[in-house]
Chains A and B, each alone.
Chain A
Amino acid sequence: MNETASNTAGTDRRTFLQWLISGLLLGAFAAAANVAVRFLMPPPKAKKATELSIPTAQVPLGSSLVVEHKGEPVIIVHSDVGFVAFSPVCTHLGCLVKWVRDENILLCPCHAGKFDLTGKVIAGPPPEPLHPVKFEIQNETIVLV
């Protein structure tokens, strides 16, 4: 190698090329990683419909219904106290609760978390109440907003 060049302060050719090549390799790697991650990442949730109407007849007294609203599940329960709607996603580790009619509770099948129909935890590990979902009843329809 050229003696004078390698003895001066600053960067000699070999180091420069090494940095250049590492930089290019790193850039190529980053571009490939970008493709891989974007390809594998699930697409964003479709949040098209802002309002969802369900005829009350679809949820007769003593039954429950799970629907999808804004990309999230919603459980609607029709009991003696009327209609209630919650996100069925358990506040413990995210299983979906279901309504147990005989005990009039929402039961999580995973670790037996129990909620009453106001969403309050009555047994089991869930740390907080179920998240309520806002709805209105207009002429025989349940409207989730």
Chain B
Amino acid sequence: MNLWLKKIYLAVLEWIDYRTGVNDLIKDQLTEYRVPPKLNFWYSLGGLSLFIFGLQLVTGVFLLVYYVPSTDEAFESVQRIMVDIPYGWMIRSAHAAGSHSMIFVVILHMLSVLFMGSYKKPREITWLTGCALLFLTLGICFTGYLLPWSQLSFWATTVATNIPQPIPVVGPYIVRLIRGGENINPDTLNRFFALHVVVIPAVMLALAAAHMYLIRVLGISDPKKPDTDSGE
């Protein structure tokens, strides 16, 4: 059965490994990475969050190919994605569905960590980076929601950016800072666009890397003895 194919395949892998030592890395980090026995469904939610984030990156970049970030053209460009571009509806719906499921899964992940007590010493920093990731997820959804520049996005953003208004003294300043004006205006769209596609994704990538580095260094927690290091 296709022996020569297998030979070529193995030779290529061998060639790469000789020059990078990547096989050891794969063994250590993936195939022979030890975890406590009896892990359950709840442990998969962090990985699932990461997977959805990856999907959002991919579908988001595809949307960027046709989306135009300007108050004159945003709505029409989104209509074009939905109606004219082959599979555009699918990419956009996937991006919208992904954003909702991402919030759902990230919150479930957080609850599971909370109830299993996995945030306890020495994992406090992992917990804090996780909290920051949750807020950034909310932030990226919030900023993305304005981008189609529809009636719904406009008024939803008007309402949501009004929330800090009643804070004593600083409230009105915060609102103006977020909006870049007294009301939602073209500058609001542009700053939300910058936050949505560049700033927040970049910070999230960095934080997710730190989050996973810590998980790797500290090992996965064991619900029965959450304050011990179950790593190697």
Task: List residues of A whose CB falls within 8 A of some B CB.
Answer: 15, 35-36, 38-41, 43
Contacts and interface: CB of A to CB of B under 8 A. Distances in A.
Interface stretch (B18-26, B86-94, B128-136, B199-207): B86-94
6 contacts: A15-B1, A35-B87, A38-B86, A39-B62, A39-B65, A41-B86
Nearest to A35: B87
B84 A39 contact: no
A36 B1 contact: no
B87 A38 contact: yes
A39 B88 contact: yes
B65 A40 contact: yes
Main secondary structure of the interface of A (DSSP, over half): helix
Nearest to B66: A39
B108 to A, nearest CB: 26
A113 B74 CA distance: 42
B156 interface: no
Q: Determine which residue in B65, B86, B91 has the highest number of CB atoms from chain A within 10 A of its CB, and name it.
A: B86
Given A36-B62, A41-B86, 15 more contacts: A15-B1, A35-B87, A35-B90, A35-B91, A38-B86, A38-B87, A39-B62, A39-B65, A39-B85, A39-B86, A39-B87, A39-B88, A39-B91, A40-B65, A43-B84
A139 to B, nearest CB: 39
A36 B65 CA distance: 11
Contacts of B65: 39-40
